[in-house]
Amino acid sequence: MSQNAAPVVPAKELSTPVHNPATGEVLYNVEHASVDEVTAAVARAEKAFESWSQESALKRGRVLFKYMELLDANREELAATLTREHGKTLPDARGEVQRGMEVVEFACGIPHLMKGEYSENVGTGVDCYSIRQPLGVVAGITPFNFPAMIPLWMFPIAVACGNTFILKPSEVDPGVSKILLRLFLEAGAPEGVLQVLNGGKTVVDALLHHPSIQSVSFVGSTPVAEYIHKTASANGKRVQALGGAKNHMVIMPDAPMDQAVEALMGAAYGSAGERCMAISVAVPVGQETADKLVLALKARIADIKIGNGTGKGVDMGPLISQKHLEKVRGYVDHGVTEGAKLVVDGRDFSAPDKKGFFMGCCLFDGVKPGMKIYEEEIFGPVLSVARVKDFNEAVDLINNHSFANGVAIFTSNGGVARQFAHQIKVGMVGINVPIPVPMAFHSFGGWKRSLFGAVHMHGMEGVRFYTRLKAITARWPEALKAEFTMPVAK
């Protein structure tokens, strides 16, 4: 088989049960699309592109303004569906919806965002200008952990630029995507501009190999991101594939310990650690700082309330599935075997009714490079403490890791913070901010094995990703004579 030949796949995969992770009950079964259904969806998107791409940017922006209003009016439905299918707490779900809406708000300014450049009289009677034009049919493949926010990071900018978009959400919590599509159509978007296809690898491969798909956006694990990038690139597509992470937080001796502990608690255990921007490694500088930090974290973890995300005052909900719960427990087992000190063991936590996919907070001390729990992304409520002697050792530790998504430093010294921001080889940096996710008008993305492809997500990077730049050089002379030499400025 040639490198970019489509793989042989079954015409239709089976359905996937969607669970409520807090109870373990099956809510419904989601049917997977077949390869033929993918082909039909692409054909609809191509047809819709013919007219949608010709609409003025102003008109496309007005659809997004209406969409923003509808998202705002239905944010509680979105958050409730998210919590029911994913398990994160309702306040966390509401925050996710809000961060997604902010990208829609950014995309409403598309008439300004797509403006080109103009240079008059670059030669005698010659003007040069550039314009941005949409790609065509584009696709997005999104993960389970942010079923509202990450789709909203992709398709609003893509369709605002004039593309049509096919969304393949995670098959384990696809309910939010169905609502996002319903509201988009209600906002006045034509049929076929946005479509949702459910499924697994069969659907993904069909999108990656379809010749009419112009670009693919992906967020998920590094092995899959690498596969998406390699396969889609081999088929001539633009790709932005965001992968895994191992985010560190440096705690300097001058950092306010109470603030650092509270920041770590939310960043490590919020959403049960199922975030690509979660802090999973604390890096205290100096033994005294480390000892104080571990004691404070251990005491604070005892106060964490774990339960159904709809419950009042709940800090942390369940993990997404029984399979993932067992995987995270396995990492903790491995950490103990490798010699790390398990200060807090949450493996045996269970809900009072013994239902759901729950796990308690885990805290390791004495974690070192080379350990599996340090090198790999766990994606669960597991925080590792890696002690270092000084600032330079902290920087070297982080810069030597294969992941480089996000990082943070807590300090009261502005000079140290500035030095850290400039020396660290990581895509997103927080200074006294534990989870440095950029706002919608900036762009999101890591370095090294946390990102495959050159372009980050949303903000102006998103506009550039979903458009092609065209430069036009024009002259309107009174009399035209053939020129047989290279044109030069006169």
> How many Cα atoms within 13 Å fall on the side-chain side of residue 99?
21
Q: Which helix (H) or strand (E) holds 69?
A: helix 57-73
Q: Could you write out the DSSP letters of every residue in 149-166?
A: HHHHHHHHHHHHTT-EEE
Residue in the structure block whose two tokens are 């169905």: 178
Q: What are phi and psi of 137, to 5 degrees?
A: -90, 125
Do residues 284 and 255 touch, judged by C-beta distance below 8 A?
A: no
The widest CA-to-CA distance across the chain, in whole angstroms, is: 88
For helices 414-423 and 391-399, the axis angle rounded to 10 degrees is 30
Do residues 418 and 393 touch, judged by C-beta distance below 8 A?
A: no
Do residues 60 and 158 touch, judged by C-beta distance below 8 A?
A: no
Report how far residue 131's alpha carbon sits from residue 126's, in angstroms, rounded to the nearest whole number: 17
Report how far residue 41's alpha carbon sits from residue 61's, in angstroms, rounded to the nearest whole number: 24
Query: How far, CA to CA in Å, does 5 sit from each of 189, 208, 236, 391, 460?
Result: 34, 10, 12, 50, 33
Do residues 134 and 116 touch, judged by C-beta distance below 8 A?
A: no
CA-nearest of 466, 477, 469, 485 to 215 is 466
Considering the candidates 161, 276, 361, 362, report the single residue annotated as catalytic.
276
For helices 149-160 and 90-107, the axis angle rounded to 10 degrees is 10
**What torsion do the CA atoms of 256, 259, 265, 271 make, to the nearest 10 degrees?**
-140
Check if 128 is active-site: no
Query: How far, CA to CA in Å, does 295 sit from each of 22, 278, 363?
Result: 30, 21, 11
Report how far residue 106's alpha carbon sits from residue 61's, in angstroms, rounded to the nearest whole number: 10
11-18 contacts at long range (C-beta below 8 A, 24 or more positions apart): 11/35, 11/36, 12/202, 13/199, 13/200, 13/202, 13/203, 16/171, 16/172, 16/198, 16/200, 18/85, 18/171, 18/172, 18/173, 18/174, 18/175
Do residues 27 and 19 touch, judged by C-beta distance below 8 A?
A: yes
- Catalytically annotated residues: 276
